[in-house]
Structure 1
Amino acid sequence: MTSTTPDALHIVCPHCDTVNRLPPARLAEQPTCGKCQKALFTGQPVDLASARFLKHIERSDIPVLVDFWAPWCGPCRTMTPFYAQAAQTLEPHFRVVKVNTEASPDIGSRYNIRSIPTLALFRNGREVARQPGAVDANTIIAWARKANQAQ
C-alpha cells in the first residue's frame, strides 16, 4: 500500500466476485461479503478462471499473488500444499489465487507464462514481480512480502 492509508479498500469476494469496500482496520476481523455473506478470506488459494481472474487483479486494492499451474505438472502438485500453507499466513493482506493454465490458456498466454509453476504478484492490475519454479511455503511468503515492499 502507499504511505497514506485509504479510507476503504476494495476487496473482491472469492465466492461471488462482488467488489466490497472495507476499512483497512477490518481486514483482520474475518470480514464477510456484503452480497453473499461468505468470508472474504478463507485461508485457501482461490481457483480463478479467465473471466474471474481479471476482475480480481484489476479491482482488488490488496496485492494478488498468483500460482500459474497445471494438473499434469509434477512440481506444481508438489508445491500445492506449500502454497495453501502460505495462503493461511499471507491472507488477509494478500489475495492468494491459482490459475490452471490448461483450463485458462488465454491467461497463461496473456502473461507470457513459459514455465510452471510460476508465481506472479499483481498490484492495481499489473504484474510487479515473478518467480518461476516450485518453492516451499516459507520461500513463497518471504518472496511475496519482499516483492510487495519493493513497490
Structure 2
Amino acid sequence: MNPSTQPESLHIVCPHCDAVNRLPAARLGQQPSCGKCQKDLFGGQAVELASARFLKHIERNDIPVLVDFWAPWCGPCRSMAPAYALAAQQLEPRFRVVKVNTEAAQDIGARFAIRSIPTLALFRNGREVARQAGAMDAANIMAWARDKARLA
C-alpha cells in the first residue's frame, strides 16, 4: 500500500476469534493485539481457514490477503509449505497470509474455481486481484505478492 494513500485506520480480522478490529494504521507494525481475545493480530505464520472464516478474512481485512490453496496429498504443495511459512513471517503485518486446504474446504475451492494446486491468490477488499498456479520459493512468493498488491 502506498503510504500517501494509506487510511488513518484499518480493519484487521483476528486470526484467533475472527473479531474485526479497528486499528490505527500507524500501529500496524507495533505487535497489535485483538480487542476481544487479547491475542496477537499477527503471529508471523499462515492462518488455516475454511468456509465462513475464509470469507470474513477476505471481505473484512483492509490489508491484502494472500491465500495458498493446497491439499495434503499434493507433493508440490508440501514442498512449497516451508517457503510459504517463511514468506508469511516477512509479509505480515502488511498482508494477512492464509492457507486453505481444498480437500477439507471443497466449497471454497469450487467457489473460486481452483483447478490446480498449489495456487496462490491475492484478495483486496473482498475481490481476487491476482492468481498464480504452481510452487514458488519464498523470495518469489514475496515478490509476487508485493508486486500484485501494488497493482491492485
Q: TM-score range by the shorter chain?
A: over 0.9
* Aligned twin of 2:47: 46
Residue 85 of structure 1 and its aligned partner are, at CA, apart by 0.1
Question: Secondary structure at the residue paired with 1:29?
Answer: coil
Q: CA RMSD in A?
A: 0.9
| In 2: Cα distance, 1:74 partner to 1:55 partner | 29
- C-alpha distance after superposition, 1:16-57 (max 9, x if no partner): 000000011101100000000000000000000111000000
| In 2: Cα distance, 1:104 partner to 1:131 partner | 19
* Aligned twin of 1:148: 149
* Aligned twin of 1:112: 113
| In 1: Cα distance, 2:87 partner to 2:29 partner | 16
Give the letter for the 1:118 counterpart. Answer: T
| In 1: Cα distance, 2:13 partner to 2:150 partner | 22
- C-alpha distance after superposition, 1:91-134 (max 9, x if no partner): 00000000000000000000000000000000000000001000
Alignment of 1:1-151 (within 5 A): 1=1, 3-151=4-152
Residue 4 of structure 1 and its aligned partner are, at CA, apart by 2.7
| In 2: Cα distance, 1:51 partner to 1:24 partner | 26
Count of residue correspondences: 151
| In 2: Cα distance, 1:108 partner to 1:26 partner | 34
Structure 2 gap segments, 5+ residues each: none
Residue 6 of structure 1 and its aligned partner are, at CA, apart by 1.4
Give the letter for the 1:25 counterpart. Answer: A
| In 2: Cα distance, 1:22 partner to 1:132 partner | 33
Residue 139 of structure 1 and its aligned partner are, at CA, apart by 0.3
Please give the TM-score of this superposition, normalised by the length of structure 1. 0.98
Identity %: 76
Residue 7 of structure 1 and its aligned partner are, at CA, apart by 1.9
Question: Secondary structure at the residue paired with 1:30?
Answer: coil
| In 1: Cα distance, 2:43 partner to 2:34 partner | 12
Please give the TM-score of this superposition, normalised by the length of structure 2. 0.97
Give the letter for the 2:48 counterpart. Answer: D
| In 2: Cα distance, 1:7 partner to 1:24 partner | 5
Question: Secondary structure at the residue paired with 1:38?
Answer: coil
Give the letter for the 2:25 counterpart. Answer: P
Give the letter for the 1:36 counterpart. Answer: C
Question: Secondary structure at the residue paired with 1:66?
Answer: strand
